[in-house]
Amino acid sequence: MLKLNLDHILKARGIEKSFTYMTKLGFTNIMAHKFKTGNYNRPPLKHIEKLCIALHCTPNDLFEWSPDPQSGIPADHPMQNLKRDNASASLASIIRTMPLDQINEIQKIIEEQNKKA
């Protein structure tokens, strides 16, 4: 089943108060609540676009796919890219417990990647 799941991208961006964030983007309280709870079955494309621009991501980053066990979809199917790891933690919480030398290594890697982009 394909569904909208903003949790992982909001965590990655360090956004802890998703409802407040959504309302600041201009979404109504009802829409923000639907985004927060994941009960938004058919969001308009303009909402997806607005989120992608604000979160600096693509629509694929906003969706999650949980395959039906009986679907028989092969492991190399492109939909497999939309499966999410439920155990993902925010980068900020991981970094808080890391030694400074490891953080410095990560910073160097990120800087190198930014130069390539």
* Res 86 pLDDT > 60: no
Q: What does the alpha-carbon distance between residue 15 and residue 36 come to, in Å, rounded to a whole number?
A: 12
pTM exceeding the 0.75 threshold for the entire prediction: no
- In a shared domain, residues 94 and 82: no
Q: Is residue 61 within 8 Å of residue 55, measured between CB atoms?
A: yes
- In a shared domain, residues 41 and 69: yes
Domain count, the chain: 2
CATH number for the domain spanning 66: value is 1.10.260.40
* Res 60 pLDDT > 70: yes
Q: If you write DSSP's letter for every residue of 39-99 in order, what string do you get?
A: --SS--HHHHHHHHHHHT--HHHHEEE---TTS---TTSGGGGG---TT---HHHHHHTS-
Model confidence pLDDT, tens digit, residues 19-48: 999 999 999 999 998 888 877 878 899 999
- In a shared domain, residues 80 and 41: yes
Residue 34 lies in domain: 2-86
- In a shared domain, residues 70 and 106: no
> How remote is the C-alpha of 93 from its chain's centroid?
16
